[in-house]
Amino acid sequence: MASEITYAEVKFNKTPPPANPKASSKKETPLSLFQRIPFWFPWVMSGILMLLSIALLICIFVPLRGWQTKTFLKSLPQNSTNLHCLLETEQKLSCCKEGWKLFQSSCYYFSTATQKSTWNNNELKCMEMKSNLVVINVEAEQDFLINQTKNLRETNFCIGLTEQEKKGEWRWVDRTTINSTRTFWREREPSEGDEHCVVMHIEGRPENKNNWNNVRCSHDSHQYICESKTFVFDCGF
């Protein structure tokens, strides 16, 4: 008996490939511009801006300081090339012209032995230098003047003190009257007579601060001491 052949229908179902896990994930959102900036970037920018600010301040104030200096120099008397200065505070500079001595808030000029004349002529010489014969207000000022002249030979320096029409009334060139507690007369001075002008009699004895002597105003053998205010320079901005 012949064998029977059995046919079976076999169906193959097409199985889809496994899903790609990467493809199935959601698409990432791109980072914004600020999110992509490194954390150190703001600090670097702050430093740069600070340096630019400092440079700007220098550019502004250095020319200003130069302008202040030029203005100050223009205010000085003519022929003032060199200055002797003292820094009184952080922002205040006091200066005197060349050849003048600085003490506290005043400048002093001591004439030489070849510059001798009468009291009135000496006062005119001081006025030509925009000053006056010295006015002595305190003991420290008297000490300063003595110290500046202690090495000189015997001589007289005119100071800004004269006797008025009223006998015994002494007045300074700035019109202030003499203070009896701040006088430095020599012994037995002031003397009587027509001696109405006052000099400092220098005799090489710096320990003796009482050296005022009244003399005739017409005597032409006296040197002189001029006094003026210092030139104040404001160093602040």
Residues 51 and 122 in one domain: no
Q: What is the pLDDT of residues 11-30, one digit of tens each?
A: 545 555 555 555 555 556 66
Residues 195 and 118 in one domain: yes
Residues of the chain with pLDDT under 70: 1-37, 39-40, 58-82, 84, 86-91, 234-237
What sign does the dihedral 177-193-118-214 (CA atoms) show?
negative
Give whole-number Cα distances, 181 to 14, 137, 138, 177, in Å.
Answer: 130, 10, 9, 12
Domain that holds residue 202: 109-229
pLDDT for 29: 62
Residue 78 within a domain? no
pLDDT for 143: 94
Residues 113 and 222 in one domain: yes
pLDDT for 237: 46
Residue 14 within a domain? no
Residues 114 and 219 in one domain: yes
pLDDT for 228: 95
The total of other beta-carbon atoms located within 10 Å of residue 6's CB is 5
pLDDT for 107: 95
Question: Can you tell me the distance from the alpha carbon of 190 to that of 41, in angstroms, rounded to the nearest whole number?
Answer: 85
Helices (H), the chain: 21-24, 41-74, 119-128, 139-149
Residues 121 and 47 in one domain: no
> Hey, is 160 helix, strand or coil?
strand
Residues 59 and 119 in one domain: no
Written as six digits, the tokens of 97 are 């012209």
Residue 30 within a domain? no
> Hey, is 145 helix, strand or coil?
helix
Residue 214 CB partners (closer than 8 Å, separation 6+): 163, 189, 190, 191, 195, 196, 197, 198, 199
Give whole-number Cα distances, 215 to 157, 159, 174, 201, in Å.
Answer: 11, 11, 20, 10
What sign does the dihedral 212-179-166-189 (CA atoms) show?
negative
Q: Number of structural domains, the chain? A: 2
Written as one letter, the residue type at 93 is L
Cβ atoms of residues 93 and 235 within 8 Å: yes
**For the domain that residue 126 is a member of, what is the CATH number?**
3.10.100.10
pLDDT for 64: 45
At 119, phi and psi to the nearest 5? -60, -45
Residues 49 and 118 in one domain: no
